[in-house]
Structure 1
Amino acid sequence: MLDIKRIYLQAGAADLPRGREILDRWPAATIVDIESHQRIPEVYGAETNVRRWVRIKREALVVGIKKTMTARPNGRSADFIAPSTANGCAMACAYCYVPRHKGYSNPITVFANIERILSYTGKHAVRQGRKPEPNECDPKDWVYDIGENSDCSADALVSDNVRDLVDLFKGLPNAKASFATKYVNRDLLGWDPQKKTRIRFSLMPQADAKLLDIRTSPVGERIAAIDDFVAAGYEVHVNFSPVVVRDGWLDDWRDLLDQLDAGINAETRRQLATEIIFLTHNRGLHEVNLGWHPRAEDLLWRPELQQIKRSQNGDLNVRYRTGSKGGYVRALTDLIRARTPYLRIRYAF
């Protein structure tokens, strides 16, 4: 997954204990001093050359300092989005919306000022007090998403930031952490999360994943890991995301549900829930993908099925047409209730 040869180092990061730990982990890496962890000319460009992207993702690491601390309200997957301890990703999913400031290669950036992030997050949770009533995020705890712009399972290959967050939430009586992942990192099994961290394994039919989920753990490996993570003390949910509509899509989802059902035990079933998110795609990413992975766009860019929606930042996104999408959602949720009736649907859109 990672073979770090260059570390882009923001001024001041090496003076912090976590920054020094990261540098010591890859002592042979070339250090490149940078002013900002967001805009790095060397990782820009070559948008149509995925070989360069993958090489940068594997070989480059950015070590920065997070300046702005906020816990944004969310309200669907989590109550709050915690201040991130990383952004970027070692994987290269064809539909990923995250690449922005660092160019489409978007390697992992890890923040060295972890003590400040932990302090802010803990104090924010304490200020919330007891959760007054259950909601769709959780019946008891305030839920903090700790991996909005990265994959925490991969981030844990780089530093102890994710483990520090898991440890933090063990000590918070009113809050739990949550993150989605497409990578099986079994090192996390030894962390004793005490049910205060929710891992959401993202799943889709293998035929789609083979084409779209690039550099991720195979879907079968993710399913095979679920029971182990439940036994290790995690709350485990599954994300069906993104759901891609194509010929035969519902039949393949039926097969995936049967695979999931056969791969998990009774303890897992009792606590399992799902979030269902149908594909939203971006015109700019579509044009980039045409240069290196046009077969992915055969699934992702379907003008006959989609409508344009302008996002808050002005980007042109496409999603399945109003009316038709409602039928797709009902078809999948009906299938889930028929094949895996124990699988609680937290939300679907």
Structure 2
Amino acid sequence: MYPEQIYYEPAALDYPLGKALRERYSNAPWIPIESHNKIDELRTRPNSDFARMKRYLVVGVRKTHKYVPNHKVSDFLVPYTSSGCSAMCLYCYLVCNYNKCSYLRLFVNREEMLRKLMKTALNADRDLTFEIGSNSDLILENTITGNLPWTIEQFAKLEKGFLTFPTKFDSVDSLLTLDHRGRVIARMSVNPQEIISKVEFGTSPLFNRIAAVNRLGEAGYRVGLLIAPVILLENWELLYRELLDILEERLSPAVKKSMFIEIIFMTYSYVQNAINTEAFPNAVQLFHKGQMTGRGRGKYCYTAPLRASGEQFLRQEIGRRFGKNKILYIV
């Protein structure tokens, strides 16, 4: 990613990473702002500017460090070195939080964040798992900052606790030779290629993702697959059956043996629909009135019968190929 323009908090340039980014992207316009959370110039843009704004970069200092308990793959969701993303997945849950301002924000005070992470791990009475990629895609971010190898090698020296992150990107080469000491769980998000092409704009193709997770497995990382979000288009059974066939064929024996699978059905929102309608008028329609029902304020999920049908189908197809115990959870 080469940003079209960069908005920055002046205090960010007091940090080594902020200075390095300023030098690396010196040819791009740098626009000072008071806060990365409130850039009125961008917040007031029309929804149709959504894709253009994804080419911007925001550089700031993270001030919120509250850990949120989690009970899926991790013990805590950890605010870390970025939020938002330059990809444009039509269902992205970050849009629910940031609206059209879900562009990539980088936080340069990484030493402060890692110190808290390591202190929390050391003071715990057991190995904790920290989800450091819940607000962004750290593989994508790493292509700009190099934060992920730095984080993994520093944290692994503790030999206590685990880090985990999901990704839709295949740029994993910088992770393959790290001394991670088995302390990292990398989770690759997968979907049928038709859905990736029509819905997950700006992300890596399916075959590239599979090759990347195989390389991570060969490098000794613990790995998982996220079939997420499951999107029940008209021909969804055919699409997901083909996806599972491809995974069965292309995943390495080592990955198939050790992996776990997370399954998340799509939740959609009024905000996402409003942005997508204006920013991507020719894109596939994800909201279908007959298939979806309300789920909280302004959100929609699949009706109970359709959701149950999808779960039954996936359990059966996954169990037949990979074994019944591979599914960690379905939500």
* TM-score category, normalised to shorter length: over 0.9
Say if 2:263 is the partner of 1:250: no
Where in structure 2 are the equivalents of 1:1-349 lying within 5 Å?
A: 2-49=1-48, 52-58=49-55, 60-99=56-95, 103-130=99-126, 141-185=127-171, 186-294=173-281, 296-298=283-285, 300-310=286-296, 315-341=297-323, 344-349=326-331
Distance 1:115-1:270 versus aligned 2 partners, 3 A rule: same
CA contact (8 A) 1:93 1:212 kept: yes
- Counterpart AA for 1:176: F
Q: Structure 1: how far apart are the matches of 2:245 and 2:218?
A: 22
Could you tell me the TM-score, scaled by structure 2's length?
0.93
CA contact (8 A) 2:199 2:284 kept: no
- Counterpart AA for 1:194: R
What stretches of structure 1 of length at least 5 have no aligned partner?
131-140
CA contact (8 A) 1:43 1:106 kept: no
SS state of the match for residue 346, structure 1?
A: strand
- Deviations 1:66-108 (Å, cap 9, x if unpaired)? 1122221111131111122110101010001213676515221
Q: What CA RMSD, in Å, does the superposition of the two structures yield over aligned residues?
A: 1.9
What stretches of structure 2 of length at least 5 have no aligned partner?
none
CA drift at 1:125: 1.3
Structure 1 stretches of 4+ with a deviation exceeding 4 A read 100-103, 294-297
- Deviations 1:18-40 (Å, cap 9, x if unpaired)? 21122122122222111101111
CA contact (8 A) 2:168 2:209 kept: yes
Distance 1:286-1:53 versus aligned 2 partners, 3 A rule: closer
CA contact (8 A) 1:38 1:101 kept: no
The alignment of Structure 1 onto Structure 2 pairs a total of residues equal to 330
Could you tell me the TM-score, scaled by structure 1's length?
0.89
CA contact (8 A) 1:236 1:272 kept: yes
CA contact (8 A) 1:275 1:346 kept: yes
- Counterpart AA for 1:76: K
Q: Which moved more, 1:106-115 or 1:276-285?
A: 106-115
CA contact (8 A) 2:267 2:300 kept: yes
CA drift at 1:295: 5.1
CA drift at 1:62: 1.1
SS state of the match for residue 158, structure 1?
A: helix
Q: Structure 1: how far apart are the matches of 2:316 and 2:191?
A: 17
CA contact (8 A) 1:257 1:340 kept: no
Q: Structure 2: how far apart are the matches of 1:100 and 1:161?
A: 26
CA drift at 1:43: 2.5
Counterpart for residue 134 of structure 1: none
Q: Structure 1: how far apart are the matches of 2:3 and 2:59?
A: 12
